[in-house]
């Protein structure tokens, strides 16, 4: 069953000036639209993540760089002056994770985003059918091999099963905290129970994410579980939404349900593939323009004016008729 959201716009509000700006972990961004971590951007464009980073900087937003980036973290950092976070996994060899974190600190990254929903790789049948090859990543050259070319099945699955630490648990967040002073956000939360554990573990932010729907079949759409996470967090740390954002109206819905910002993944890669840096900027600008119009037509001149009363689910509508 799909959860349908309807807007409840307010009229006769002065919307002659719309301010979409906000702050994430104290860093100002032009709109609550950030770039989600996606890997291997050179598969989409020869300039790879450096083009995406330049577009993020031009649009005054935050890019979360994937651990699987095809450009080195240092190349991305030196490509432009901007705030960026680094997404990581924890490896069986903890020293490799520690090296990655220290490189992020040295390169000027402002936060670590720990993906927590991949103790094992989900069954990605397209990758298995196509025998997806896992290339050697520049960031790990000379450290350990990320290459895997299986006789059958997915090379990515072969690599992750060899490298990722499936034993990593909530108690190990303390270990990650011990090796860095950067803020830590956890990405992959879908329930109130895990949101509460994240708060208790002392993380600095939560990203509600189902990994693009590629990990566990029958996982919920992130917009449908956002509110239960927001309610248990109670404003103690930022909550961001990842997944399914294709329109500015999706951004508005997420903020009305309590998110501080959204992450955009696939559309960014599509824009990169189409027109490089300019294509990424075009995607972000389209979302910002649609979001601005939605704010104006809903009677919200600022981000703070967007409230839960601006959206209603179909269930709420039916209950109101009883």
Known catalytic residues?
A: 211
**Cα distance between residue 170 and residue 197, in whole Å:** 8
**Cα distance between residue 207 and residue 190, in whole Å:** 9
Number of C-beta neighbours around residue 95 at 10 A: 9
| Inter-CA distances, 284 with 36, 67, 76, 225, 264, Å | 12, 22, 19, 25, 9
For residue 243, the Cα-to-chain-centroid distance in whole angstroms is: 8
For residue 100, the Cα-to-chain-centroid distance in whole angstroms is: 19
User: Quick check: 189 and 219 in contact, CB under 8 A?
Assistant: no
**Cα distance between residue 265 and residue 189, in whole Å:** 17
**Cα distance between residue 32 and residue 206, in whole Å:** 15
Instruction: Give the CA angle between residues 271, 73, 284 to the nearest 5°.
Output: 25
User: Quick check: 18 and 296 in contact, CB under 8 A?
Assistant: yes
User: Quick check: 219 and 256 in contact, CB under 8 A?
Assistant: no
Question: 237, 238, 115, 110: which is closest to 180 by C-alpha?
Answer: 110
What does R_g of the chain's alpha carbons equal in angstroms? Answer: 20
Alpha helices in 145-204 (DSSP H): 155-163, 173-178, 192-200
Q: Name the residue with tokens 């993540």.
A: 49
**Cα distance between residue 205 and residue 24, in whole Å:** 9
């Amino acid at each position: 069953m799909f959860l349908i959201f309807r807007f409840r716009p307010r009229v006769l509000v002065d919307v002659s000036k719309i301010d979409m700006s906000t702050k994430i972990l104290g860093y100002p961004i032009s709109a609550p639209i950030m770039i989600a971590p996606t890997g291997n951007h050179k598969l989409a464009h020869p300039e790879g993540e450096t083009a995406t980073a330049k577009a993020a900087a031009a649009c005054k937003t935050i890019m979360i760089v994937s651990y699987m980036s095809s450009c080195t973290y240092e190349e991305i950092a030196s490509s432009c002056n901007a705030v960026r976070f680094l997404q990581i996994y924890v490896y069986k060899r903890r020293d490799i994770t520690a090296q990655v974190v220290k490189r992020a600190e040295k390169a000027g990254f402002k936060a670590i985003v720990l993906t927590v929903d991949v103790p094992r790789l989900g069954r990605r049948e397209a990758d298995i059918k196509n025998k997806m090859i896992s290339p050697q990543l520049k960031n790990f050259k000379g450290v350990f091999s990320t290459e895997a070319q299986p006789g059958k099945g997915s090379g990515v699955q072969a690599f992750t099963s060899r490298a990722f630490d499936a034993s990593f648990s909530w108690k190990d967040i303390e270990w990650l905290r011990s090796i860095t002073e950067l803020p830590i956000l956890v990405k992959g939360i879908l329930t109130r129970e895990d949101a509460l554990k994240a708060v208790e573990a002392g993380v600095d932010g939560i990203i509600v994410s189902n990994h693009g729907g590629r990990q566990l079949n029958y996982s919920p759409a992130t917009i449908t579980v956002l509110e239960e996470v927001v309610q248990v967090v109670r404003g103690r740390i930022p909550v961001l939404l990842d997944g399914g954002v294709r329109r500015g109206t999706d951004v508005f819905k997420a903020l009305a349900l309590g998110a501080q910002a959204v992450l955009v993944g696939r559309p960014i890669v599509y824009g990169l593939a189409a027109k490089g840096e300019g294509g990424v900027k075009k995607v972000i600008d389209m979302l910002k323009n649609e979001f601005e119009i939605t704010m104006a037509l809903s009677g919200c001149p600022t981000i703070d004016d967007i409230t839960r009363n601006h959206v209603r689910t179909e269930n709420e509508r039916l209950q109101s008729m009883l």
